[in-house]
Structure 1
Amino acid sequence: MPTRASRSDVLRLRLVSHGLSAPAGEAGGPDGPLAVVERMLAVQAQDLPAASWALGVRSPGTVAADVLSALDAGSIVRSYPMRGTLHLVPATDVRWMLDLTAARVLASMATRQRQLGLDDTIIAAAAEAATGLLSGGRRLSRTPFLAGLRSAGINPDGQRGYHLIAALALAGLVVWGPNQDGQPALALLDEWAPAQRRLDRSEGLAEFLVRYLDGHGPATLRDFAAWTQLTVADARVALAEAGDRLEELEVDGETLLLPAATERGTLGSRPAQRTPVLALPGFDEYLLGYRDRSYVVDDADFPRVVPGLNGIFLPLIVADGRVIGTWRKETTRTRAAGPTVAVEAAPFGTLTARRTTGFARAIRDYSAFTGLPTTITPPTAPSARAGTIS
C-alpha cells in the first residue's frame, strides 16, 4: 500500500534526490560533475553554462573547469536523448537511451525537416560526410563541421545545420563531447565513447524510470512520461518491470514514486536545504523535470519564470523547496578588469533578511564556481548596498 505523505514531504525528498540537501548529519550531494549526471541521468543542456552550474550547485566545491574537464575526458557528453533537446548524460548511457527515445523524437521532427527540404537521402549523405570528417578521432566544432558538410554538397544554412546534427546524433552517429578552441566539438559516438551499455527494451525502460526517480523523485508516472516523451504504455511497462525497486507515496489522492529504501531521505527525516536560499540556473531540472510543476511554483507565478511563456526558463531563487523568485546576470568585459558578472534578483515578494543573506551566499557560491567577480544588489530595502563578491 502507498505511504501517505504531504506536499512538503515531496519537496524535502526532491531536494535530497537533486543533491540540493541532505539528511541530518550527512554531507550529502554527489561528488563531482559525473556523479551528479549519473544520479540525474540527464540534465537539460542547450545552455551549456547554465547546465554546468546545474552540476556545480549540486556538487559543492565543483568549479566550471571541472565540468569542462569531464566533457574533455569523455565521461559526460551532450546529446539529444529526449524531447529533441540537448542534455548532459553519462557517456556510457547514451546508446540505450537513444534506443528507447530516438524514433519518437525523429518522428516529432519530421514535419520541420520536410519544410527545410531535408529527406532521408540528404540525411544519409550527411551521415557519410560526417563519418569522413570525424573518423580517426577527429573533432570539429559547429562552424568547421557545417563547412565540411557544405564541401560535401550539403547545404547547412539556417536551421538545416541544427536539424542535420540532431538527426545524426539521434541516429547514434555523433555526439557533442570535448571542447575545441573554446567551443563544443562533435565526435563520432563509437570512437569518443565506445564503452556503451546496451539494454533490451523492457530492461531499458525500467532503468530509465528508476534512474529518473533516483535524481528527481518523488514523481508521478505522468511526470516520467513527460520528461522522456515516451508513451504512457511504455511508462507502464517501465513501472511493471521496475517492480519492488520502487516505493509509492500517496499525496492528495495521487500516487508518486521513488526508489525503494532510499538512503538519501525518508518521510521521518528532515533534510535541510544546503543553503537557506538556492540560486539555480535557467532550465534547471528542479522545475523542468516534471509535468506537474505546482509543487515548486504557484501557477500565478509561473509566467514570471517563463516571461511570455516563450519557452525560456529564467534562473530560479528557491527557498524551502519553493521557487520564490528569479535572477538575471550580465557579464561585462573590460581590458583593465576582465570579465565581471552583475546579478539582479527579482523575488516574487519582499525577502526576509535571512533570505536576502541566503541569496547573497548562493551567489557567492556561483561566483566561486565561475571564478568571476560578481556584483549583487540585494533585493530588499532601498538602503541595501551593492556588494562585490570575489
Structure 2
Amino acid sequence: MIHSEISHHRLVSQKLHKTTKCSPQEIVHYLGAMQAQDYAMAKWAVGSRCDASEKEIEETVNSGKIIRTHILRPTWHFVSADDIYWMLDLSAPQVKKFTASAAKKYGFDSKKLDQINTSIEKLLAGNNHLTRDEIMQELDIKKTSKEDFLSAAIMMNAELDGLVCNGKMNGKQITYALLEERVERPNTKLTKEEGLAKLAKRYFESHGPATLLDFSWWSGFSPTVCKLAIHSIASELNSVEIENQTYWLGSDLSNENIFRESVHFLPAFDEILISYKTREASILVEHQTKAFTNNGIFKPIIMENGKVIGTWKRTIKRDHAKIETLFFNEIKNSKKEILFEAIKPFENYLETKIIIE
C-alpha cells in the first residue's frame, strides 16, 4: 500500500464504497461512534452507508436503538444502544473534566451538579421527554446571556453520568429522557483496559488504515494510553508502513472493488474526514480551509475516487431539496453531469425531488 491508496481503503472500511444491507443501528455499531452535533447531517452520515431513508433513521433514533449523547470528546455522537454503557464508563471521566470546568465558571461545583441531577431524574421519570429549555425552566435556571453555556454544561454532565440521553424528537426540537428508561443497563462492566482494547479494535476495523495519533484524536485518549491499547490487540489487526508511519487496519479488509471509481456527496462532520488527526490522504492541504475551519466546523463534501474535490449545501423546500455545489477546480459541464449522478442516493434518502443549481 502507498499513501495515495489510503483514502481508497478508508472508503471500504467505512462502508462507503458500496451500499450495504446493514440497518442504521448496525452502521453506528460498526463505526463505534459517529460525530453528530449537526443532527440532520449525522442522519445522512448513517444513510450514506446503507439504504435507509431519513424517516427510517429518525425512527431508529426515536426508538432508542441509536443514542445521541456526549461521548469520547466533548461533542455529540451517535452510539448504538448496545455500546452506550461501556463507552460511557470508559470515556466519561475524561470528558467530564471539560464540563466541570465550564460549570465551575458559573459557580456550579460537583456537589451542586449532583443535586441538579437528582432534580432532573425526578422531572424525566416515567418516560417524560423534555427539551433542554423546558428542563431549565423547571429547574428555575435562567440564561444570563446568549452565550450562556451553563444549561449545556448541566445537560452534558447528566449525559456523562449516564443519567440522560436524547429522547424522542418533539417536532424539530431535541428532547432528553432518562437513559435507563431507554436502554437497560447491563449486569457486567468492562475494565478500563478491556474497554480501551475494544474501542481500539472497533476503530481500526471501521476506520483503518489509521495511525496511533488518529486513534488518539478520535477517542480523546492520550497517545500513551492509545499505544497500550493498540499493543493489546496488535495480533488481531493488520499493519502497513507508509512513509515511515505505521498504519493499522482490520485483518479482514478485502481488496475487492477497492479501486473502482466512485463519487460521494457526504455530510458535514463525516467520519471520512473528522475521525483522523491528519487528513492529507483524502484532501490536499491547499483545499482544507475550504472544507473545514480551524475551530472545527466541517462542511458537506464531494469526494471523487476517495479525494475531496468540492463542497455542497442543501436547502429543504416544500416539495424538493435544492443542492448547490462549489468545486475547488473548474469542472466542465459534461463532467458535472456525471458527478451529479451521485446525488441519487441522497434523493432516495430524503424521499423528495432534488434540484441542482
Report if TM-score (shorter chain) is over 0.5: yes
Offset at residue 42 of structure 1 (A): 0.7
Number of residue-to-residue matches in the alignment: 353
The equivalent of 1:388 in structure 2 is: none
* Counterparts of 1:367 and 1:359, CA distance in 2: 14
2:115 equivalent to 1:120: no
* Counterparts of 2:217 and 2:22, CA distance in 1: 28
Letter in 2 for 1:199: L
RMSD: 2.0
Listed as ranges, the matches of 1:21-170 within 5 Å are: 21-22=17-18, 29=20, 31-59=22-50, 61-150=51-140, 154-155=141-142, 158-170=148-160
2:177 equivalent to 1:215: no
2:217 equivalent to 1:232: no
* Counterparts of 2:334 and 2:199, CA distance in 1: 39
Per-residue CA deviations over 1:281-331 (Å, capped at 9, x if unaligned) read: 011110000001111111111111125x34221100001101111112223
**Of residues 4, 12, 32 in structure 2, which corresponds to 1:8?**
4
Q: List structure 1 segments (4+ residues) > 3 angstroms apart after TM superposition.
A: 154-157, 352-355
Instruction: Verify the 8 A CA contact 1:96 1:198 in the aligned structure 2.
Output: yes
2:307 equivalent to 1:322: yes
Instruction: Verify the 8 A CA contact 2:33 2:78 in the aligned structure 1.
Output: yes
The equivalent of 1:205 in structure 2 is: 196
Letter in 2 for 1:265: S
Per-residue CA deviations over 1:252-292 (Å, capped at 9, x if unaligned) read: 111000122x1x423xx44256x731100011110000001
Cα distance change, pair 108–195 in 1 and its aligned pair in 2 (3 A): closer
Instruction: Verify the 8 A CA contact 2:17 2:262 in the aligned structure 1.
Output: no
The equivalent of 2:297 in structure 1 is: 312
Instruction: Verify the 8 A CA contact 1:30 1:36 in the aligned structure 2.
Output: no
Per-residue CA deviations over 1:191-236 (Å, capped at 9, x if unaligned) read: 2111547311111111000111122111001100111111222202
* Counterparts of 1:82 and 1:353, CA distance in 2: 43
**Of residues 276, 285, 301 in structure 2, which corresponds to 1:290?**
276
Instruction: Verify the 8 A CA contact 1:129 1:148 in the aligned structure 2.
Output: no
The equivalent of 1:256 in structure 2 is: 247
Q: TM-score, normalised by structure 2?
A: 0.93
SS of the equivalent of 2:303 reads strand
* Counterparts of 2:259 and 2:139, CA distance in 1: 52
Could you list the runs of 5+ residues in structure 1 that have no partner in the other structure? Answer: 23-27, 333-337, 378-390
Per-residue CA deviations over 1:169-190 (Å, capped at 9, x if unaligned) read: 0111111142234432211112
The equivalent of 2:325 in structure 1 is: 345
2:271 equivalent to 1:281: no
Letter in 2 for 1:286: I
Offset at residue 126 of structure 1 (A): 1.5
The equivalent of 1:271 in structure 2 is: 258
SS of the equivalent of 2:177 reads strand
Offset at residue 133 of structure 1 (A): 0.8
Q: TM-score, normalised by structure 1?
A: 0.85
The equivalent of 2:176 in structure 1 is: 186
* Counterparts of 1:362 and 1:163, CA distance in 2: 40
Instruction: Verify the 8 A CA contact 1:296 1:322 in the aligned structure 2.
Output: yes
